[in-house]
Amino acid sequence: MARLSYDSVEALIYDPVSANRTATRAALYSLGFRRTETVPTLEGMIDVIQRQTPDIVLAEAQGAACAFARAARAEGCAPVFLTAPFGPVHDVVPALVAEGWRLRGHRSAVAATALYRRAGVDGPVVARFSGTLAADEVLLWPADARQAGLLGRLGQVRLAWLSGWAADADSVARLGVDRAIPYSNLADHAALLAYAAATGAREIAAVDGFAQDLANALRDGGIADAYALGPPRQISLFD
């Protein structure tokens, strides 16, 4: 198989932590990237993007979210983050609030924030979206409501997708967004197996995604009654 060449690919790394920038640059170099620039500030990242439009931007997620919001407003557009009400959004929005942004959201985002607070988890206030955004506000909106008529009231918008699935180019293309910010705070495969074992459960039902693969791995790990839940299967009429 022919080796891919990244010699001419222009890469930009943004991370406020110097050690992280160095490590990321070294990792890219080991893959064959030779035209790599690093910046420690959001301002520096935005300046580079506006001047030369690199082929690849590797940005710390919180910084990427802030840069997106600022760039959208600079273009006279409303910044909208498509994201699930639970999950990575709650790791990223504190950076937006620290920069002075106020948050508005779909009812599901407002409800999720209330649930977090009841569970003792501090978080920023998310006000219910009613059709308008002030100049210092961003909107948190579920990706599956991408075509909702209420969004149309905002006029010109810029859409960023904040999700682990934002790393998948086909998924990004299907959703049709201006910026993809890949980020996930979900457990990986090994962590899921470890968590299942730590619970001491004797029966586990897996749902969504690679449910059957997970159920198989759980059984291999000693949990005999592990299975995938899904729609009923048609009984075979022929052998």
Question: Three-class SS string for the chain?
Answer: CCCCCCCCCEEEEECCCHHHHHHHHHHHHHHCCCEEEEECCHHHHHHHHHHHCCCEEEECHHHHHHHHHHHHHHCCCEEEEECCCCCCHHHHHHHHHHCCCEEEECHHHHHHHHHHHHCCCCCCCEEECCCCCCCCEEEEECHHHCCCHHHHHHCCEEEEEEEHHHHCHHHHHHHCCCEEEECCCCCCHHHHHHHHHHHCCCEEEECCCCHHHHHHHHHHCCCCEEEECCCCCCCCCCC
pLDDT at 184 over 80: no
Higher-pLDDT residue of 174 and 42 is 174
pLDDT at 41 over 80: no
Percentage of the chain modeled with pLDDT above 70: 94
pLDDT at 141 over 90: yes
Which pLDDT score, from 0 to 100, does residue 237 have?
58
Lowest model confidence (mean pLDDT) among 58-62, 82-86, 105-109:
58-62
Residue range 106-124: average pLDDT? 88
Domains along the chain with CATH numbers = 8-59 (3.40.50), 76-185 (3.40.50), 189-228 (no CATH)
pLDDT at 233 over 60: no
Lowest model confidence (mean pLDDT) among 59-63, 81-85, 122-126, 230-234:
230-234
Q: What is the pLDDT of residues 201-220, one digit of tens each?
A: 889 988 877 888 889 999 99
